Structure 1
Amino acid sequence: MVDTLKDPALDHFMARLAPGAAVLDLGCGPGNASAVMAAAGFAVTAVDASAEMVKLAARIEGIEARQARFDEITEIDAYDGIWASFSLLHAPRADFPGHLAALRGALRPGGVLCLGMKLGEGEKVDSIGRFYSYYSEDELRSLLEAAGFSVADTRVTTVTGMAGKPEPSISVMADG
């Protein structure tokens, strides 16, 4: 699991935002990254499909937390930044382009998306029953560009997920 307090991608993302920027933490989990961003002075909206995770995130001071699925992100020009760290990898591949288009619409002009994904091919269920969609770096770049993003930076690394297995992953910084 990534320690968001020492996450270079989160630091890089926050450095690209203006003070007080409105940020969507998509798939916020318990709100670890939301807490870091709120403490840095950003206006954070934390969203997760899990009621339990939203309840945990809502305990963090300075965060608006709400329950929503990826397909329920319908705001237009609402955010300066969207942090989607290892959340959209749980969306089926067939739905992914639509989710990216909705996120592009939710970003204000000049906004930035940070997308964290596992690298690979196809769709799989891991050893603890969690669904994942995998993409190559080239696929992600093409899908982001088709949704209207411009890829600014990519960083390939290895993460150890909840199943305890190290896997190649990518962090993509894209401008809206």
Structure 2
Amino acid sequence: MVADIRAALRTFYDGEMTDRASRPVAPERVQRLEDFLSALRERDATSVFEVGCGAGRDGAVIQRAAFDYTGVDLSATAIEVCSTLGLRAVRADATHLPFEETTFDAAWSMSTLMHLPNDDFGIALAELRRVVRPGGIVDIGVWGHTENRDWSSSDGRFFRHRSDETLKEELARVGTIVDFATWGWLEDAGHYQWARIEVPSQ
């Protein structure tokens, strides 16, 4: 089942990644990224890692801000698109990151980790904590809901939505949540969830 979910995600994103590169980014996400970059400057961070680099829209902003950027994505097309933008990007799974411990000062992941089934979300969080240095920050954004639920969209993509409370409990595995916000509430109570987590110094 997990292999089928991965295959469906790759097929969908391989097919639409080129078009995605030209789509505008939502204003809330633009603001969160600007805040993230400001926080990195305050901490004298230099290296940033992104899970789910997609078409490189966030990665290009991060790199233009003079940070050393690395991204990963399941989609081979995403890696190709990022390469044309001059971004370092590697095809990899969020649950098996091909990097040594404490490689990066910070991590960024938007609209990616809610696609992980079973216990893979927890595994991905453990991987993020492993590759981000102590004292670093991790910004994560996912689509959630007022209730925990699994569902698949008509295009075959799997989603695991969590309530705000459940998401906070799981994100605490990475470290201390220093900020949390929601926006974009939909008619069925779905909404976007964003958090900033600080990896423990020890």
Q: Give the TM-score category using the shorter length.
A: 0.7 to 0.9
Matched position secondary structure for 2:141: strand
Flag the structure with larger Rg.
Answer: 2
Q: Which residues in structure 2 correspond to 1:35-46 (within 5 Å)? A: 35-46=60-71
Equivalent of 1:27, from 48, 52, 72? 52
Q: Distance in 2 between matches of 1:171 and 1:110?
A: 19
Of 160, 166, 182, 1:139 maps to 166
1:124–1:2 Cα change, 3 Å = farther
Query: Deviation of residue 130 (structure 1)?
Result: 1.2
Q: How many Å apart are 1:39 and its aligned residue?
A: 0.5
Question: Which one-letter code corresponds to 2:182 in the other structure?
Answer: V
Q: Which has the higher strand share?
A: 1
TM-score scaled by length of structure 2:
0.77
Match of 1:15 among 27, 32, 38: 38
* Number of residues of Structure 1 aligned to a counterpart in Structure 2: 170
- The answer for the alignment partner of 2:178 in structure 1 is 152
1:70 corresponds to which letter in structure 2? Answer: A
Indicate which of 13, 25, 29 corresponds to 1:3: 25
Contact 1:80–1:111 (8 Å) recurs in 2: yes
The CA RMSD over aligned residues, in Å, is: 2.2
Q: State the Cα deviation string for residues 82-127 of structure 1 (Å, max 9, x = none).
A: 1110111111142111111111111111111111111122211012
Structure 1: 5+ residue stretches without partners: none
**Amino-acid identity (%):** 26
- Moved >3 Å (runs of 4+): none
Partner of 2:16: none
2-side partners of 1:7 and 1:13: how far apart?
10
User: Is 1:97 aligned to 2:128, yes or no?
Assistant: no
Return the alpha-carbon distance in structure 2 between the equivalents of residues 30 and 107 of structure 1.
23
Distance 1:57 1:4, change over 3 A: farther
Q: 1:118 to 1:23 in 2, by over 3 A?
A: same
Quickly say closer, same or farther: Cα 1:173–1:128, change in 2 above 3 A: same
Whose helix fraction is larger, Structure 1's or Structure 2's?
2
Asked whether the equivalents of residues 27 and 87 of structure 1 are also in contact (C-alpha less than 8 Å), the reply is yes
Report the 3-state secondary structure (helix = DSSP H, G, I; strand = E; otherwise coil) of the residue aligned with 1:17.
helix
Q: What's the counterpart of residue 72 of structure 2?
A: 47
Q: Which amino acid aligns with 1:68?
A: A
Partner secondary structure for residue 40 of structure 2: coil
Amino acid at match of 2:25: D
Q: 1:101 to 1:2 in 2, by over 3 A?
A: farther
Q: CA deviation at 1:4?
A: 6.2
Partner in structure 2 of residue 68 of structure 1? 92
